Amino acid sequence: MVPPLEPSPAIPFHAFKLMGQQLLDVILRRHLEKFSCSVEMGTELRSFEQCDEGVTAILAKNGISETFDTKWIIGADGAKSVVRKQLGLTFLGETRDDVRIVTGDIRLTGVGLDREHWHLFGNFNERGLSLRATDEIAEDGWQFYLYGRELDLTKIAESEELVFETIASLIPTEITFKKVVWMNDFRANIRMVNQFSKGRVFVAGGMDVHSPTGAQGLNSGVQDAFNLGWKLALVHKGLADKCLLETYSVERLPVISEMLDMTTSILDKATTSGDLSAGRSSILYHMLGINCRFSTIVLDEFVTSVERKPINAYGVLGEGHLEAGDRAPDAPNMLQMGGAELNTTTLFGLYKPWYHTMLVFTPSLADATSIWDALEAYDKSIVRSAVVLPSSASVASVASPDLVLVDREGYAYSAYLVEAGQTKVFVIRPDGVIGAIVHGTEGVKKYFSKIFLDA
């Protein structure tokens, strides 16, 4: 279904994971519990009003109305969002009546039907079936898609027996059915909002609807939330100006717009060819080329404005070019100096969602001294740093306030395109995006002046 992508030191997580909502929901709730947070079930947002100081929401909890005052609201309430509608955001686009799908989870067994592969039967235009094994349902669980103009999908979606009959007619082997766990009739809508916020109220995830052929929905929603989350945290704590929040729409709208174009193109190719797998690419599915090089708050002193190209938010997945606004690559087997024992780590192990991470690539520790001094002005809880030395560097003794790493196998210097003898500073944002690539202290100050108050 998707062209394979081999792992590399810079891209260790190369394969995407298909996961049902019921399992993902459990994972997310358990993670929230670590921060003493919980999801309140049976609670509905009816309306809200905002002012300069905060937002007042009217909730219905188990049928009882209550008022809740808060500083901010983030509406992650999907394509039928109450928040989006009350903010008056446009939701322009089209509804594709020519594309209907019945999807759901089902329990069945089939002679010779292995669970190692994703199975496609029939034709996308006429009558077809997609079956993907999923142990989340049961040992005999499958996710299914039924599609094609020759099928009465509206009628099929109302009857478990018709689902059984249709699937049996499409699979050339003996099938034993147990039950349909759930199913839904899907019609292709291609729409998106015109902006992601107004005042103290934001929308995230589900603020676009698109063809399921791209499998981008959940991932794009998580990216929305991560992009907003670190910025909102800084503003809420009084560490950044509210204008930082305006970059949420600036950085995410081009990505969502391009995603709609790409998933619609795949849908069009599938309807033209009858092949559901037509037009798919690893760039789209893995989403590793997504960038915000065009953002007003990223800084790259190694790329001039003349060299900057038109917005290409999905980018090109490759390890031969790196700019501010790109996803920060990984590097394994980094030797950590200065402790009682020599430990190894990865660059991904350094990055966390609650602070910026500065990587200072220098030929020697002495070359990093002036940058260390400049970093003293920043709170360690929001900015941390590491000096990255080449394998040839002499590090007999380490006495520095920073983390010192030796790139023994050259993975970091290769992934970050740093040449021998060069000093190059990378600022990695809390969301894993390269915020800045600069020569030294002045570049660091210039980048943070757009992020922090009084920087």
Which residue has tokens 């459990």? 26
Q: Report which residue type is found at 446.
A: K
- pTM score of the predicted model: 0.88
Tokens encoding 448: 């943070």
Burial annotation 158-180 (CB, 10 A radius, 16+ → b, else e): eeeebbbebbeebbeeebebeeb
pLDDT digit string, tens, across residues 351-372: 999 999 999 999 988 888 888 8
pLDDT at 273 over 80: no
Tokens encoding 214: 């791209």
Radius of gyration of the chain, Cα coordinates, nearest whole angstrom: 25
State which of 44-58, 259-273, 366-380 shows the largest mean pLDDT: 44-58
Tokens encoding 450: 């757009």
Say which residue, 10 or 235, is predicted with more confidence.
235
pLDDT digit string, tens, across residues 151-193: 999 999 999 999 999 999 999 999 999 999 999 888 776 777 8
pLDDT confidence band for 276 (50 / 70 / 90): low
Closest CA to 446 of 374, 365, 351: 374
Query: Taking the mean position of all CA atoms in its chain, how far away is CA 241?
Result: 25
pLDDT of residue 363: 93
The angle at the Cα of 43, spanning 39 to 46, to the nearest 5 degrees, equals: 130
pLDDT digit string, tens, across residues 202-257: 999 865 555 555 566 778 888 999 999 999 999 999 999 999 999 999 999 898 88
Tell me how far apart the alpha carbons of residues 93 and 411 are, in angstroms, rounded to a whole number: 44
pLDDT at 139 over 70: yes
* Side-chain-side CA neighbours of residue 448 (13 Å): 26
Say which residue, 23 or 201, is predicted with more confidence.
201
pLDDT digit string, tens, across residues 71-125: 999 999 887 889 999 999 887 776 677 778 899 999 999 998 999 988 999 988 8
CB-based contacts of 439, cutoff 8 Å, min separation 6? 301, 423, 424, 425
Tokens encoding 44: 């509905």
pLDDT at 443 over 90: yes
